Chain A
């Protein structure tokens, strides 16, 4: 069958989804929002948090007080808003990452100026408190969703709102979800007040003095949830104050029901919640009169109080606690010039006894133990002398007279003299010094941090990094705004899902600013690299390796990229001569119709494409640059065979195409030169043949 070009395009559109399409007004969105997350360990409270997870505002996870777990998760998926008289709205305020808004500067206390996530401590009525809050703007509304923690075991969940979307009185109905895991996920019960057991999933309303108790059926440990003064009363729009549900993963995440969703009608199957993993919904009804103006904060939310059944006996003698320990110098994230001698000083003390010793480690290698004050290291410690460029972790461990230990770590960076320091305002010109420590994995995983899940494989064998099943490692180094960095690694994979080398920049709060990724596509070692310029506010570059199949990495480097390491003649096509079979190439049609062939014009092999077979490979390309694709090709059957050269944008929509019909029965050179249009992200090379064709010696170079 002879196929014209139109049919050819349709063919590709169906298979490669990179063919020419009309009306391509693509609203390409970044999609990967920069969440903020971390862990808190403060006065008996221990939990992790993540801002914006599952569009649920500030989410707390694995909340424990004095080692007693109380919550698997606390979140706020929606605040429904109804205006009187059906004149304005309604709205569903959903606190996704897109709604985060830094707080205005200029408050009397500047602890949270210009911050999206506010973390601060304060003293109130003689008691110290920890506050964690998220600043949000939705339309004209300003929202502050927050949690307050006290050392006495109380935790206040609050949402503040202010602003006027319309000059109409209205009600706010924030919905909290508390996934209680008291002690563990199972065996929880919900009581109205402290004595009315709720055996089945329920909806309820609070009376004048009601509270709820969530208790572990086995241990008796419990949490009391008490409404606050302005939690309001239900109305027609939001008819319930609380709901008890049995935990299901799909029911504790995103809010999908818009402004009109009513918890009373959701997730209620009448299932048993007596001694199960339970979820407690709490809804408040906060009235806002337009006459109150737009400045007054309106706040509501419950208070949770931890009640440990295993009451702690009054100590007859002081309980020993671990010693305190802090680095005096150097400061965390301090930078030194290459060859520097680093002096380390720590302070350590013990409230009930004495400090027996303090040990210091450099990248987990023991340096020396100090048994008496002052706890100092430096001039007499060779491992702290003449440090080479790289990132180092200093770890100190203090041990008291009863053997309790406290460990603290800081990171320092040593920068080559020809490298700029983080405070050096002068950009470097050319410097290929590797900024990574242990880049070849010769010292196992030293200087690398694992970021894989619990089932991931992360190991080093014979100087090669092996990652599998979601394995991930990363290393951070200080970055300088405006400088282009290049991350490269030799890598190979064994499967077909996803392996990648990834470079990102984050700010001083570790929020991601920009990132670039390159997939690893070959089963044999090849060099994969990615370049990116540190954007404004960049504080560190993050080098990440990730793999879902068994994949190997070696010889990684993060260098300042001045372009000299990327000569114009570099072939951007991997395995263009097919000497490694079809490594790096992907089928875009029936995979049985493409193979490695011993018929070749140079070397030992070529790519055989026939009977509607299709092969393609992508390479990163730069908008505005000119590229030349060249391949040797032939079609023995003299049917339709083509070499296609495309540029596509970040959503893989084709921006421009040049197709060369292969009409020779012997190998001949087919080439095409194109300039990458605006918004180009990838160059795509495609072989297609309805006959019996071979392709060989392909190159793609930047002119």
Chain B
């Protein structure tokens, strides 16, 4: 069953057992995801949490007035401070731009990332990580995702100032979505929904990386989809439940399961 069909059947379901792992013992991964035995040998069994207080009155729980960001309870004399440090800012700025350029120009990376790819941010590793006794000597890293081969490419600069990289299939790990991917997913979903007669023109679109459900993991044993799938929504914004959703496959540039949000 393709992931699209799995997803379609998943969304049509109203209720599924919280964890199928206890009965689907054939899947090692399900045991990992839903196991009831702690790994340290203790006998405490996790249970579904029902504890739920939301004590508004505690110091930092925020109010229910909708302010963003939340304001601490009974806060007075609120004053903004401006404390950006130019030197640090410029250093990070210079370093990340320069390092990104090096990554982008690297022939090996250019080959492995292919022609359709996503590129992600550069991180400059802090001094402790570089100098620590357990350090791997990495001082900068970035990530690419190849949409054709569905590969996650982790690249870094080692202690010899050489660019190294590792390649993982998408079902093993994927980076979180970046802004361009979110925009692309929203555009594709909008076109699909519009073609189906839904008016999303006045709604705000969002998209985020989608993950397999518990039942899908029971079938595949994989924590990530095999392709680059984003879950797109269209709503009024400000956190309200979206009106329309769609699954967008950026590897294939296709849309599935688009339509109104189900009422459960």
Contacts and interface: CB of A to CB of B under 8 A. Distances in A.
B89 A90 contact: no
Interface string A141-161: 110101010000000101010
B121 A32 contact: yes
Contact of A249 (B53, B135, B177, B210): B135
B240 A163 contact: yes
A98 B70 contact: no
Contact of B240 (A140, A287, A289): A140
Contacts of B55: 229-230
A497 interface: yes
Interface residues of A, number: 160
Contact of B85 (A39, A141, A256): A39
Question: Which of B40, B217, B223, B261 has most A Cβ within 10 Å?
Answer: B40
A27 interface: yes
Given A31-B100, A260-B217, A297-B61, A653 B115 contact: yes
5 contacts: A31-B100, A38-B89, A125-B59, A167-B264, A299-B61
A454 B131 CA distance: 11
B80 interface: yes
Given A249-B134, A544-B93, 4 more contacts: A31-B120, A168-B264, A258-B223, A287-B49
Interface string B35-76: 010111000101111111111001111111111111111111
Nearest to A99: B176
A166 B17 CA distance: 18
Interface in B73-115: 73-98, 100-105, 107, 110-111, 115
A483 B235 CA distance: 39
Given A86-B214, A260-B223, A27 B184 contact: yes
Interface stretch (A128-136, A339-347, A521-529): A128-136
Nearest to A33: B121
B40 A474 contact: no
Contact of B48 (A39, A235, A451): A235
Sorted nearest first, the 8 A-B pairs with minimum C-beta distance are: A163-B239, A451-B91, A249-B129, A297-B62, A294-B239, A38-B85, A111-B80, A86-B16
A451 B122 contact: no
A25 B134 contact: no
Contacts of B87: 449-451
Contacts of B217: 260
Given A24-B115, A85-B15, A123-B76, A32 B100 contact: yes
B13 interface: yes
Given A92-B211, A138-B208, A502-B94, A119 B16 contact: no
Contacts of A542: 90, 93
B62 to A, nearest CB: 4
B128 interface: yes
Contact of A265 (B32, B70, B71, B231): B32
Contacts of A202: 40
Nearest to B37: A239
Contacts of B16: 85-87
Contacts of B4: none
Contact of A38 (B53, B78, B84): B84
B127 A37 contact: no
A147 B229 CA distance: 33
Given A287-B51, A498-B102, A87 B264 contact: yes
Interface in A474-526: 474, 476, 497-498, 500, 502, 504, 506, 509-512, 515, 517, 519
B125 interface: yes
Nearest to A15: B107
A25 B82 contact: no
A17 B110 contact: yes
Contacts of A233: 49, 51
A24 B85 CA distance: 41
A139 B233 contact: yes
Contacts of A603: none
B200 interface: no
Interface stretch (A101-109, A375-383, A423-431): A101-109
A472 interface: yes
A694 to B, nearest CB: 27
Nearest to B57: A229
Contacts of B84: 36-38, 509-510
B85 A94 contact: no
Given A124-B73, A158-B60, A91 B208 contact: yes
Contacts of A48: 85, 88
A55 interface: yes
B126 A61 contact: yes
B69 A133 contact: yes
Contact of A29 (B71, B82, B118, B264): B118
Contacts of B261: 166-167
A26 interface: yes
A544 B67 contact: no
A546 B94 contact: yes
Interface string B113-143: 0011111111111111110101110100010
Nearest to A504: B93
Contacts of B138: 249-250
B241 A166 contact: yes
A351 interface: no
Nearest to B14: A87
Contacts of B213: 86, 89-90
Interface in A519-558: 519, 542, 544, 546, 548
A239 B37 CA distance: 10
Contacts of A26: 115-117
Nearest to B51: A233
A21 interface: yes
Contact of B97 (A139, A168, A256, A515): A515
Contacts of B254: none
B19 interface: yes
A205 interface: yes
Contact of A118 (B19, B69, B181): B69
Interface in A12-36: 17, 21, 23-36
A2 to B, nearest CB: 27
A162 interface: yes
Contact of B70 (A28, A160, A164): A160
Nearest to B143: A254
A364 interface: no
A228 B59 CA distance: 10
B175 to A, nearest CB: 8
A139 B179 contact: no
B264 A124 contact: no
A140 B233 contact: yes
A240 B179 CA distance: 32
A451 B90 contact: yes
Contacts of B76: 122-124
A167 to B, nearest CB: 5
Nearest to B208: A139
A234 interface: yes
A297 B239 CA distance: 11
B239 A140 contact: yes
Contacts of A285: 49
A40 interface: yes
B149 interface: no
B180 A27 contact: yes
A135 B239 CA distance: 13
Interface in B211-226: 211, 213-215, 217, 223-224
A236 interface: yes
A1 interface: no
B199 interface: no
A204 B125 CA distance: 30
Contacts of A142: 68, 238-239
Given A285-B49, A652-B104, A258 B224 contact: yes
B241 A31 contact: no
Contacts of A226: none
B121 A107 contact: no
A353 B217 CA distance: 71
Contacts of B182: 98
